[in-house]
Chains A and B, each alone.
Chain A
């Protein structure tokens, strides 16, 4: 036993202090996000003056510079909300499955959403953003259930690697299906391709307004489930002993995560690794309490995607690299690091 310092009430002090530390991190992350958002509006393949930025943001489009700035505003907002949605979705999926590798991309959920949207475009003449979103959510949900079912087969239930493998296999299969759907349709190849790499480039206000309520619902569901997720992290038996209805809680949280992943994919295409990387970084900073982890992941996810978008605009001038590619470059090494760390425990 370690030495015991019995200061009365000291644990209360400890708890208060850690709350303050977490709040500070959250505020710091928000400040960084605001800075990044300003940066995202100010820089791009076209250099603009301060005056043009001021006018462009307030809606003037008299010069090419102003117009460029004007177009960067919805793009920045889209990067923020998509990043937040994917990161929260990943945090919740990791919590629901107690699996450090869970992420809407790795579990195949974003590909499920993509296939649904692409099929909708090709066969059912899907065109409205509203239609994209609903279709994507249904596709995401069906895939999530299927991957979880496959990953749980056999001994030991849904272990992290089995689930990741099931997700990877499903993703691969869905990707070929998408090609099979798109190839014979020369007329939609371009729409699908630009959407599929994952981008926020062409953002306008209209789809943003359409997707907003979905994201709000998904976020509220996810955050609302955070105490259940905290209990389920201790194992289903402990959670049930603490009065959590485990099956219902798991379904509710997973639905929130699926709505977020589906809606984000519908407006920005599949963007990989945000949901995987961000919650891991956030756990190091604010700990494993989902009540903090979820909002903090939202802010950091927004920072990551905004940064990826800015970087993608700058490194390949005058062309642009899509955010999905930039996040994959950042995310793949992190994925490998996590696998290496968990392998010892799981195999």
Chain B
């Protein structure tokens, strides 16, 4: 079990250059739980994750990890506690899965030290935990999109952090692989107590897998709380500008959102 960490944003304002994307945002990430951030395109979800992993410097306000400003922490120290999987990472041509996963060990290695047994073990554990051992020597460019996404998560696992931020880990995956990735993250959360913050586009997946749901609108947090509290017709309207019906998911008990478009909806088409 890992220590539970306290990650929070206080009166946070971030943006690019002169432009402010997020203004005056407060967020408390529950430790040891899974949090999902949802919101329309360009509402600032990635920007929020970048600020929390200090890729972006706040214009105002702070991001606190266990009460300390992340921007005042040493970068390796932070990287041993908090990991980030960005929306579009790059893989050099020809890199093998084992090599890529091994690079997740960077924050645990001394400047000139050799590859250690701990590193070997962390890489082996991460590959085994995710059933990717058989892929270890394959070049990344020969994998399917789903396998590749999995390998990136394996790299994040090898980094072995107590807090893991993931930007759209399920985008481009078919429904079976989406479920697989979210199950994997749930295992990680249950077995190691890892605090997980993930940006998801699928509201129903978010409601099912997250303990805590955060809905963003134009750089602000519109609503946050348990999925049952947050996911309702008003929230969907405010976040996506779309009507919806919410029912109980018979398989999980979580709320289930059914979108209402202009067509193929019985009462609307008369």
Q: Give chain A residues whose Cβ lies under 8 Å from the Cβ of B80.
A: 243
Interface residues of B in 90-107 (CB under 8 A from A): 90-96, 98-100, 102-104, 106-107
Q: Is the CB of A241 within 8 A of B136?
A: no
Q: A243-B78, A243-B80 are in contact. Are A238 and B89 (CB under 8 A)?
A: yes
Q: Is the CB of B133 within 8 A of A233?
A: no
**Contacting pair B84 A237 (CB below 8 A):** yes
A6 touches B131 (CB 8 A): yes
Contact A227 B92 (CB under 8 A): no
**CB atoms of A12 and B124 under 8 A apart:** yes
Instruction: Give the number of chain B interface residues (Cβ < 8 Å).
Output: 50
**B79 in contact with A241 (CB, 8 Å):** yes
Whether B134 lies near A3 (C-beta < 8 A) is: yes
**B55 & A245 in contact (Cβ 8 Å cutoff):** no
With A237-B89, A243-B76 as contacts: A12 and B103 at CB distance below 8 Å: no
Total interface residues in chain A, CB < 8 Å: 37
Complex: how many Å from CA A243 to CA B54? 10
**Does A179 sit at the interface, judged by CB under 8 A?**
no
Contacts A14-B136, A224-B112, A233-B90 given; does A241 touch B76 at CB 8 Å: no
Residue A128 CB within 8 A of the other chain? no
User: Which residues of chain B (166-191) have a CB below 8 Å from chain A?
Assistant: none
User: A288's contact among B54, B94, B134, by CB below 8 Å, is which?
Assistant: B94
- Do residues B137 and A14 form an inter-chain contact, with CB atoms below 8 A? yes
* In the complex with contacts A11-B133, A238-B84, A227-B109 CB distance below 8 A: yes
- Complex CA–CA separation, A288 to B88 (angstroms): 20
List the A residue with the shortest CB-CB distance to B132: A4
Given A11-B98, A15-B98, A238-B84, check contact A244 B106 (CB 8 Å): yes
Return the contact of B95 from the options A5, A7, A245, A288 (Cβ within 8 A): A288
For residue B15, CB closer than 8 A to chain A, the reply is no
Contact B95 A18 (CB under 8 A): no
A342 to B79, CA, bound (A): 33
Q: How far is the CB of B128 from chain A (nearest CB, A)?
A: 7
Min CB–CB distance B180 → chain A (angstroms): 8
Contacting residues, chain B, for A156 (C-beta < 8 A)? none
Does chain B have a CB within 8 A of A32? no
B159 close to chain A: CB less than 8 A = yes
Given the known interface contacts A6-B133, A227-B106, A288-B95, the answer about A245 and B75 at a Cβ–Cβ threshold of 8 Å is yes
User: Chain A 262-297, CB within 8 Å of chain B: the 1/0 string?
Assistant: 000000000000000000000110011100000000
B126-164 interface bits toward A, Cβ cutoff 8 Å, 1 = contact, 0 = none:
011001111111000000001100000000000100000
Given A11-B136, A234-B91, are A242 and B127 neighbors across the interface (CB < 8 Å)?
Answer: no
Judging by beta carbons under 8 Å apart, are B123 and A243 in contact? no
* Cα–Cα, bound, A283→B96 (Å): 12
Task: Check: A1 CB closer than 8 A to any chain B CB.
Answer: yes
Does A287 contact B50, Cβ atoms closer than 8 Å?
Answer: no
Answer whether residue B86 sits at the interface, using C-beta atoms and an 8 A cutoff: yes
Indicate whether A230 reaches chain B with its CB closer than 8 angstroms.
Answer: yes
The 6 A-B residue pairs whose C-beta atoms are closest, nearest first, are A243-B79, A241-B84, A243-B76, A237-B86, A235-B90, A243-B107
6 A-B pairs with C-beta separation under 8 A: A6-B128, A11-B123, A18-B98, A231-B106, A235-B89, A244-B106
